[in-house]
Structure 1
Amino acid sequence: MENDFYELLREAIRKSGKSQAEIFRQTGVQQASISRFVNEGQGLSASNAIKITNFLGGRVHFPDIGPTAPIIRRPGPNAPAEFVEGEELPTVPVYGVTGAGTAAELFSGTPETLIQVLPQYNLPGVVALCVDGDSMEPTIKRGSYVGVVPFTGDISEGGIYLVHMPPFGRVIKRIRMGAGGAIELHSDNEVYKPIPLSYDGYEKVILGKVAWIWQLC
């Protein structure tokens, strides 16, 4: 369905009546990338596709199955995925990019865009970050948004957290307890090995907990 989505997104851009300059002004996606995508089917990352989809109203029509929208779900293994659709949905600010493989320090001081969420996912203090990396795949795909809520000081075994790793930056990792009560940062992609985290001062390193995942279906 992902390839079908991109084809339909190209068609939606063509039929929207929006100029590439207007899309750039509203989304920040470079006109060169938009042009290559529309004309050649190239040059558009998943995160930029999400931005344009959101700008176009968050919906692209699939002829065979009807309208579709981005999906949102909690990070648990059996959590149901729900389409982000409805009238006057709340918005969550997106504060840049976070890593999921190599750490990324691109957390900006002001929101770069907004994404719509279902009301039950508009949690107190929640902000969104775009994930750049594949170490949390298949749970969190590259280009997905994660909703992060402030860390309360209590670690949930197996929970996914936003972690600050000086001097590199912020990453999204699953936290597990190792031998002797040690804390380890785990990736869902088995290519990446666990990273030990010092127990001393961990509450200053763990910045928030991932409450939901928002991505293209």
Structure 2
Amino acid sequence: MLNSMEKWQNVAEKAWAAILSRVEAMKAEGMTLQQISDIVGTKNRTVIGEWLNGNRKAVNATFSDMMKYLENLGFLPAAFFQKSAIPGVGDSNTPSICKPGHPPIPVSGDDLKTINVYDVAGAGPGVALSEVEPLFSVTAPPSYFRMSDYALKVSGHSMEPLIPHGAVVGVRLGAEFMANELFAARIPYEGLVIKRVGVDFARKEFVFKSQNPDKESYPDFRVGINEGEEIIVGRVVWVMVGY
């Protein structure tokens, strides 16, 4: 059985792989070391350069710094921990919820609202939510209930570790597009998928990005901006785990 130090080492290794993958992606997109450093929250750009050169690893950072890096890059820190690793967050008895890029909070209170959860992923043409029965329902604080139009159960591992398999995400229809934010998109013969959507202005394309660092299994894909505007359904505004 793993002791606490071994458990933290496993968590740190997974977190570091996710951080490095995102930093490498930002560098490939043409961002400078200073810009990346400002986003990640490191002390200076030299640290980012050492990460990219393999001379230094965030895995050796303090717990607080590691959590800061994850949150600044839009990851859900609780997704890296096994159940009960953080009391009250992500365990089987206490669901947690957060806006993408923010620390998770336990779902609690006497004024929780019920939200229907749908699962429309899978082969075949897109299906309108009004035509399918919800899988189940979850409860969330009123503010989260108001910011989303519906919720989806995430099936698959393409967005891990940011959004774990089985998590529930809230989606806002018609939300203003913001580059590199999380969106639900309707892909022909696949249904609704969750991706981080960037923009390649030079090629006039949307880039739909998986978060999983295994790009061979979970490759990114591109579509023309006009086509992309048609398939983007809404923005992911919250993530719930441990429900």
Please report the TM-score for the alignment, with normalisation by the length of structure 2: 0.55
What is the alpha-carbon distance in structure 1 between the residues aligned to residue 125 and residue 99 of structure 2? 23
The answer as to 2:232 corresponding to 1:209 is no
What is the alpha-carbon distance in structure 2 between the residues aligned to residue 156 and residue 169 of structure 1? 22
Q: Spell out the pairing of 1:50-129 with structure 2 (5 A cutoff).
A: 68-76=93-101, 79-98=102-121, 109-129=132-152
Q: Spell out the pairing of 1:21-36 with structure 2 (5 A cutoff).
A: none
Q: Is the 8 A contact 1:97 1:132 kept in 2?
A: no
1:140-196 CA deviation, whole Å, 9 max, x = no partner? 0000000011023x3211111110111322111000112514210001102222100
1:56-105 CA deviation, whole Å, 9 max, x = no partner? xxxxxx8xx689510001112xx011100111311111122447xx9996
Q: Is the 8 A contact 1:103 1:171 kept in 2?
A: no
The answer as to 2:219 corresponding to 1:193 is yes
Greater shift, 191-200 or 131-140, is seen at 191-200
What is the alpha-carbon distance in structure 2 between the residues aligned to residue 103 and residue 160 of structure 1? 23
Q: Is the 8 A contact 1:98 1:129 kept in 2?
A: no
Which of 180, 183, 198 matches 1:158?
Answer: 180
Q: As a proportion of its length, which structure holds more strand?
A: 1
1:138 alignment counterpart: 161
1:90-123 CA deviation, whole Å, 9 max, x = no partner? 1111122447xx9996755232321000122112
What is the alpha-carbon distance in structure 2 between the residues aligned to residue 206 and residue 143 of structure 1? 21
2:135 aligned partner, one-letter code: E
Counterparts in 2 of 1:125 and 1:190: CA distance versus 1, 3 Å? closer
1:81 aligned partner, one-letter code: P
What is the number of equivalent residue pairs in this alignment?
150
What is the alpha-carbon distance in structure 2 between the residues aligned to residue 158 and residue 122 of structure 1? 24
Counterparts in 2 of 1:151 and 1:179: CA distance versus 1, 3 Å? same
Please report the TM-score for the alignment, with normalisation by the length of structure 1: 0.61
Q: Is the 8 A contact 1:165 1:205 kept in 2?
A: yes
What 5-or-longer segments of structure 1 have no aligned partner?
Answer: 1-61
4+ runs deviating over 4 angstroms: 65-68, 102-108
1:37-63 CA deviation, whole Å, 9 max, x = no partner? xxxxxxxxxxxxxxxxxxxxxxxxx8x
2:96 aligned partner, one-letter code: I
User: Please, what is the CA RMSD of the aligned residues?
Assistant: 2.8
What is the alpha-carbon distance in structure 2 between the residues aligned to residue 173 and residue 104 of structure 1? 19
